[in-house]
A and B are shown apart, each in its own frame.
Chain A
Amino acid sequence: DQQVKQNSPSLSVQEGRISILNCDYTNSMFDYFLWYKKYPAEGPTFLISISSIKDKNEDGRFTVFLNKSAKHLSLHIVPSQPGDSAVYFCAANFPGNQFYFGTGTSLTVIP
């Protein structure tokens, strides 16, 4: 049973525009959420995170929003750049240090 879901397998955005990647989860016990970026033949790289007690965290061009009542989080990238083209994974931490990952969204930023 997939506890973290990314329903969009792929997304294409023009360079300079906003990219919005979405993630839904089912377990209300998750207390920390993360986004990872993955290039081919490499392991995922941490991008940004948010605690369950917050609703927004910003780091440069990247902002993560958390809506606990909807069990939904999103990653906004503004402005999108061609180098942002990668697969993005949403992940959630379950108390006890287990992490659950979504299936990923492949982002393509078109120059």
Chain B
Amino acid sequence: GAGVSQTPSNKVTEKGKYVELRCDPISGHTALYWYRQSLGQGPEFLIYFQGTGAADDSGLPNDRFFAVRPEGSVSTLKIQRTERGDSAVYLCASRLGLGLTDTQYFGPGTRLTVL
């Protein structure tokens, strides 16, 4: 009966490295969102999945960012050749469906620091 979980909670990496951030949504939730929150800003949409497919990836900033959800549950956000500007909190949220009143439930986020 847990909520959305994200691992790791903190990730420190060096510029140029590859990182993977994991999101475990609430069981049964078909929609899954990724957001990036920089210091002093609100969450910024990156991508969302409906089931296994990426329904909208228009928020991904460039081709270094990629996300998958192969079985329609757990999702992984992958960032290649990390840059210092990628440092932010990465939030995941899941929804039961895509109805307007289907609430987004957020995880606690992964704080990524690129040195």
B44 (CB) vs chain A CBs: closest residue: A101
Q: Which applies to chain B's interface (DSSP): helix, strand, loop or mixed?
A: loop
Q: Is A85 an interface residue (CB 8 A)?
A: no
State A99–B91 Cα separation when bound (angstroms): 13
Given contacts A49-B101, A96-B56, whether A42 and B45 have CB atoms under 8 Å apart is no
Q: Which applies to chain A's interface (DSSP): helix, strand, loop or mixed?
A: strand
Q: Is B103 an interface residue (CB 8 A)?
A: yes
Residues of B within 8 A of A44 (CB): 43, 91, 106
Q: Which of B35, B48, B103 is within 8 Å of A46, CB to CB?
A: B103
Q: Which of A4, A32, A36, A100 is within 8 Å of B100, CB to CB?
A: A32
Summed over the interface, the residue pairs from A and B with CB atoms below 8 Å come to a total of: 53
A65-111 with Cβ < 8 A to chain B:
89, 91, 93, 96-104
For residue B25, give the distance in angstroms from its CB to the closest CB of chain A: 12
A27-53, CB under 8 A of B: which get 1 and which 0?
000011000100001111110010100
For residue B92, give the distance in angstroms from its CB to the closest CB of chain A: 8
Q: Which of A4, A43, A49, A98 is within 8 Å of B107, CB to CB?
A: A43
**Interface pairs A-B: 5 shortest CB-CB:** A43-B106, A101-B42, A101-B43, A46-B103, A32-B100
